Chains A and B, each alone.
Chain A
Amino acid sequence: TQLLEQSPQFLSIQEGENLTVYCNSSSVFSSLQWYRQEPGEGPVLLVTVVTGGEVKKLKRLTFQFGDARKDSSLHITAAQPGDTGLYLCAGWSGGTYKYIFGTGTRLKVLA
């Protein structure tokens, strides 16, 4: 069974701080996505990474896919209250119509 473990599980920080969320697995994935889910809503895609070692930047968010394509990280610079939410990584192994979701990281940014 493929599992994606995210750490930390919960994170509460002050506005302006930096943070990193990790997504780890013993399995290799063809691609990996990061989603953010706000209360009362469904998850919304932030980014897809497909190449080992790939780094993508989305304003203050930096995503990295591990060289072996087994892990990923999300780094947020100068966090803002609007970054508050549940962050989910999701890995796709190929050949099927499904992504396996990680355990989630619940982030709260205090003003």
Chain B
Amino acid sequence: ETGVTQTPRHLVMGMTNKKSLKCEQHLGHNAMYWYKQSAKKPLELMFVYNFKEQTENNSVPSRFSPECPNSSHLFLHLHTLQPEDSALYLCASSQASGADTGELFFGEGSRLTVL
């Protein structure tokens, strides 16, 4: 496996379900990100983790719960979502330094549909 892998690629869930998205990076990077991409909106940053520590929570509703057990894995736990949460969820990683975040390497995304 190389790069950033996300599973599942597609997920359909009801509003009362609990599901999780998984992201794994094989690049040895120290920072991982969750972005939301929906139609007609810019790519929205949700969460940032640097060395497993959350450094950014961009006012995301509590029905989205991130987890970063180590520098290579990132999860997004989903609970009681709304139909407007349907979107493509992109995971990314980067080798962040003091100067800048560096290049973002994205996974292929998890397409989420909330019924």
Contacts from A to B (Cβ < 8 Å) = 4, 30-31, 33, 35, 40-45, 48, 88, 90, 92, 94, 96-104
Known: A4-B42, A42-B4, A102-B42. A97 touches B106 (CB 8 A): no
Interface residues of B in 31-49 (CB under 8 A from A): 31, 33, 35, 42-45, 48
Q: Once the chains are docked, how many angstroms separate the CA of A88 from the CA of B103? A: 14
**Beyond A41-B106, A97-B96, A102-B42: 15 further Cβ-contacts under 8 Å?**
A4-B42, A33-B103, A33-B104, A35-B104, A40-B108, A41-B108, A90-B43, A92-B100, A96-B48, A96-B55, A97-B50, A100-B45, A101-B35, A101-B44, A101-B45
Q: Once the chains are docked, how many angstroms separate the CA of A4 from the CA of B43? A: 11
The answer to whether B109 and A97 have CB atoms under 8 Å apart is: no
* B92 proximal to A (CB < 8 A): yes
Q: Once the chains are docked, how many angstroms separate the CA of A97 from the CA of B90? A: 16
The answer to whether A97 and B101 have CB atoms under 8 Å apart is: yes
Q: Which 6 A-B pairs have the closest CB atoms?
A: A42-B106, A101-B43, A97-B48, A45-B103, A101-B42, A103-B42
Closest to A103 in B: B42
Known: A42-B108, A43-B106, A44-B106. A94 touches B100 (CB 8 A): yes
* B107 proximal to A (CB < 8 A): yes
Residue from B42, B56, B58, B103 whose CB has the most chain A CB atoms within 10 Å: B42
Could you write out 20 A-B pairs with CB less than 8 Å apart? A30-B100, A40-B108, A41-B106, A42-B90, A43-B43, A43-B106, A45-B105, A88-B43, A94-B100, A96-B48, A97-B50, A97-B94, A98-B33, A98-B48, A98-B101, A99-B45, A99-B104, A101-B45, A104-B42, A104-B43
Chain B contact surface mostly: strand
Closest to B107 in A: A42
Contacts from B to A (Cβ < 8 Å) = 4, 31, 33, 35, 42-45, 48, 50, 55-56, 58, 90, 92, 94, 96, 100-101, 103-109
Which of B31, B43, B103, B105 touches A48 (beta carbons < 8 Å)? Answer: B103
Q: Once the chains are docked, how many angstroms separate the CA of A111 from the CA of B4? A: 32
